[in-house]
Structure 1
Amino acid sequence: MKQPLLPAAAMLRTLLLFAIILGFNSCQDQVESTYTYQAKIPVSIKTEVFRSSYVGPVAPKDINKTGKIYVFDDYLFINEPNNGIHVIDNSDPANPNNISFIEIPGAADLAINDNILYADSYIDLLSFDISDPRDISLVNREEDVFTNYYTNHEEGLFTILKDTVITSEEPIRTWDGGGIWLDAMNFSSAEAGGGQGNYGQGGSMARFTLANGHLYTVDDYDLRLFDISEKADPEFVKQIQLGWGIETIFPFKDKLFIGSTTGMHIYDISVPATPQQLSVYSHITSCDPVVANDDYAFVTLRSGNFCQQGVNLLEVLDISDPSLPKLLKSYPMDNPHGLGLAEDYLYVCEGEYGLKSFNVSDVLKIDQNQLEHLQGLNAIDLIPGPKSLIVIGSKVITQYDYSTPSKLKQLSSISIE
């Protein structure tokens, strides 16, 4: 018996469905996914090669990438990772003037004591005379102080992580010590030092800081300290193991607050040459800068890149007893990065989500006392400076008049090329 023919409408629907399925399968076969990363890969260098490179001032350059920021007197110093430091005349924050660039191979961090600027150059610590910011000169090189870079000390061979762009057919998430480390961070000093020295001011993501006649530096594992009583000739004092994942350092009076991916360390530096650990506050794995005052520490925890297991929070800790910090309250955030504290006002960089400001006079009601949320900018770190609030992002450095904390007024911006 013959099968009845399908009605025309039903046949049309069947053919259309067949065509869609065929087209879908065809598209499926042709799709290829690739992932592009700004990454860091290990590169080996001989000490004799990098030490023969020119170090010192050249004509001003466009800012291509930003790292750490630092304010000293009327000048703003902006690190361009691995290349050097831009010098900006900031006497008028509404009209900053790029006046010079200090070429420093391997530069990542800096701090300034009176007219001496300290900067790392891979494995060395350099000192520059900046008494005339338009005529800066190298005055000292302390060799082999950051020995964690070395892969073969006897042969003078060390390894750095060099920025590069890579593509991959599979997502890459972590660096395991020999592979690829994704660039997670565009990698302070209120009342620090007891009046010893005229120190500048760094951001919350600083790894160099000054207090009590000493320079303190951190890397992923260790705290190093240098006696700078002879300003132009730092003397290495000691190295203290801290554990894995150390990220930032912040001084307040006779304390150091050290942020890591797993917690916050508090050190007593009332005897500057012999820091004493007071406590370690632990949290889940998350990127973690910290600022503090007499009673409270403010810690941002964020997810993203190698901190992908983390959460996005602002935590407030009671540190009235620094040997026993206590979590008072956590506040949800979008993706907090650096932060800064100016009296009762806290400013939090939210990455691509902008900049938030809060009145924190009542630390248990911070969420009820948000002042502003500036959107449309990428904010990574900031400095509440003497003349302006300086906010650094991936594409622009913006300065604000913050004399009225509830209403920031933009003064200027510097584009990042």
Structure 2
Amino acid sequence: MKNFLNRSLGLLVVSVIMLLSSCQDEAMTTETYRAMVPVYLQMSDIRARQMVVEPGKELENPGKIYLYGDLLLINEPLKGIHILDNSNPAAPVNLNFIPIEGNVDLAVNDNMLYADNYVDLLVFDISNIRAIKQVERVENVFNHLYSNSETGVIITFKDTVITSTSIRDFRAENIFLTSSSLGFSSNFSDASRSYGQGGSMARFTLMSGHLYAVDDYSLRVFDVEEPASPQHLKNIELGWGIETIFPFQGNLFIGSTTGMHIYEASTPSDPTRLAVFEHAQACDPVVVNEDYAFVTLRSGNTCWNGVNQLQVVDIENLRQPKLVKAYDMLNPHGLALAGDYLYLAEGQHGLKSFKVSDVNQIDQNQLEFLTQMKSVDIIPGPKSLIVIGPDGVCQFDYSTPSRLKPLSCINVKNPVVV
């Protein structure tokens, strides 16, 4: 969703047919062109719709993954959230599906599921998984991702052929062929708390009684000490290209297309910036431990630089992060740490695992490369390693880190290329 709404803009003139009338001073001009025309929805209509939880359904296009106790939640981008009983990772059971238009991210706090619904934040009580109910809606807190006006919320752009005819007066100008463009602008858990666990591609995270959500430009802060009643406190502008957020020991590590932002949140309602570690322009998930941040940089449709690397950053001094070493990869996406072991999603190329106790020798300590496991993100859960990719969601026994043992896979009917 990120960048799609903001970058799917523009107008391509395909042909201009000029029909000259008998009048020498005027001409009938017909223009036929293709345009990405905005598709609007009224939030008032969306808010008025009754949300009915549906029985479990097959995955079509898996997005974010989230683990909460024995529940595995899988986002279906812009459509909703699948909820599975994952008490036995070898045989997960598809329980139900919450249809949520415009949903991209999620997090769970003390049985309260937070999910975006275009510009709104929804809260669902999932304490009884067979009787899920919506308990709150916080309106207009994600306006940055959409153009929200009297016309409505722009939810996508449709490739449309447009023909327009007008009379032009050429008495004061020369006849010439022009092409133009049109733009549409648009404005892991605390030990004492019951939070879930997201992947490295997450844009929502929970820490110290607060929900933190990032969009392309900013960090949004919500007080969730009362889990069913989030209070939107503030937005912190971060600059352009913000992508992911990862919490660790009272700090927030925010990945962007140009660098890793480090924010200290000892005052949870008011995170303060400590440093920005800059890197080449590329997509940038991040995970950390006490000493190092592990950052993947990749090229792709929205990641313009040709860099495909795993970078290791020394964060002993959070105010002065410094690059230790960079390792070339194929097209790295999300990643996960489990003690001294790093699991790295290589997109359509597969899934890699490394021992990283010596950060200067990571390339010499690759354990496995599962080329058949197309992967985008990973969660190292207490019972299994959960890997999501375009073909579906697979789980592995990783009790022996050097050899992943397949447990189960939930496949997608018509997988797409990463």
Q: Name the TM-score class by shorter chain.
A: 0.7 to 0.9
C-alpha displacement of 1:60: 1.1
**In structure 1, which of residues 338, 344, 347 is the aligned counterpart of residue 340 of structure 2?**
344
SS of the residue aligned with 1:361?
Answer: coil
Q: Report the CA distance shift for 1:177/1:346 in structure 2 as closer, same or farther (over 3 A).
A: farther
Q: Report the CA distance shift for 1:289/1:42 in structure 2 as closer, same or farther (over 3 A).
A: farther
**In structure 1, which of residues 204, 216, 232 is the aligned counterpart of residue 212 of structure 2?**
216
- The one-letter code sitting in structure 1 at the alignment partner of 2:112 is I
Please tell me whether residue 331 in structure 1 is matched to residue 331 in structure 2.
no
Tell me which residue corresponds to 2:156: 161
C-alpha displacement of 1:178: 4.0
Tell me which residue corresponds to 2:276: 280
Flag the structure with larger Rg. Answer: 1
More helix by share: 1
**In structure 1, which of residues 62, 77, 80 is the aligned counterpart of residue 76 of structure 2?**
80
List runs of 5+ in structure 2 lacking aligned partners. 1-35, 162-181, 414-418
Please tell me whether residue 140 in structure 1 is matched to residue 163 in structure 2.
no
Alpha-carbon displacement from aligned partner over 1:33-57 (angstroms, at most 9, x marks no partner):
xxxxxxx974222111221233241
C-alpha displacement of 1:159: 1.6
- The one-letter code sitting in structure 2 at the alignment partner of 1:47 is M
Contact preservation (8 Å) 2:65, 2:199? yes
Tell me which residue corresponds to 1:8: none
**In structure 1, which of residues 116, 120, 124 is the aligned counterpart of residue 120 of structure 2?**
124
CA RMSD of aligned residues (A): 2.0
Residues in 2 aligned to 1:376 and 1:46: alpha-carbon distance in whole angstroms = 43
Alpha-carbon displacement from aligned partner over 1:270-323 (angstroms, at most 9, x marks no partner):
110110100001111100000001110000000111213231000000000000
Give the total of aligned pairs: 357
Please tell me whether residue 394 in structure 1 is matched to residue 390 in structure 2.
yes
List runs of 5+ in structure 1 lacking aligned partners. 1-39, 168-175, 180-188
Tell me which residue corresponds to 2:285: 289
SS of the residue aligned with 2:53?
Answer: strand
Tell me which residue corresponds to 2:372: 376
Tell me which residue corresponds to 2:203: 207
- The one-letter code sitting in structure 2 at the alignment partner of 1:318 is D
Contact preservation (8 Å) 1:53, 1:105? no
- The one-letter code sitting in structure 2 at the alignment partner of 1:160 is I
C-alpha displacement of 1:165: 8.8
Q: Report the CA distance shift for 1:331/1:116 in structure 2 as closer, same or farther (over 3 A).
A: same
C-alpha displacement of 1:147: 1.8
Tell me which residue corresponds to 1:322: 318
Contact preservation (8 Å) 1:248, 1:258? yes
Q: How does 1:2-401 map to 2 (within 5 A)?
A: 42-153=38-149, 155=150, 157-161=152-156, 178=184, 189=188, 192-193=189-190, 195-401=191-397
TM-score normalized by the length of structure 2: 0.82
Tell me which residue corresponds to 1:6: none
SS of the residue aligned with 1:198?
Answer: coil
Q: After the TM superposition, which segments of 4 or more aligned residues of structure 1 sit over 3 Å from their partners?
A: 149-153, 164-167, 176-179
Tell me which residue corresponds to 2:399: 403
Greater mean alpha carbon deviation, residues 199-208 or residues 140-149: 140-149
SS of the residue aligned with 1:148?
Answer: helix
Alpha-carbon displacement from aligned partner over 1:81-134 (angstroms, at most 9, x marks no partner):
111000011000000110100011111100000110000000110000000112
Residues in 1 aligned to 2:340 and 2:135: alpha-carbon distance in whole angstroms = 40
SS of the residue aligned with 1:363?
Answer: coil
C-alpha displacement of 1:205: 0.3
Alpha-carbon displacement from aligned partner over 1:137-186 (angstroms, at most 9, x marks no partner):
10111111112245354x26222236x7999xxxxxxxx9649xxxxxxx
TM-score normalized by the length of structure 1: 0.82
Q: Report the CA distance shift for 1:250/1:41 in structure 2 as closer, same or farther (over 3 A).
A: farther
Alpha-carbon displacement from aligned partner over 1:229-249 (angstroms, at most 9, x marks no partner):
111000011100000000000
Residues in 1 aligned to 2:332 and 2:155: alpha-carbon distance in whole angstroms = 28
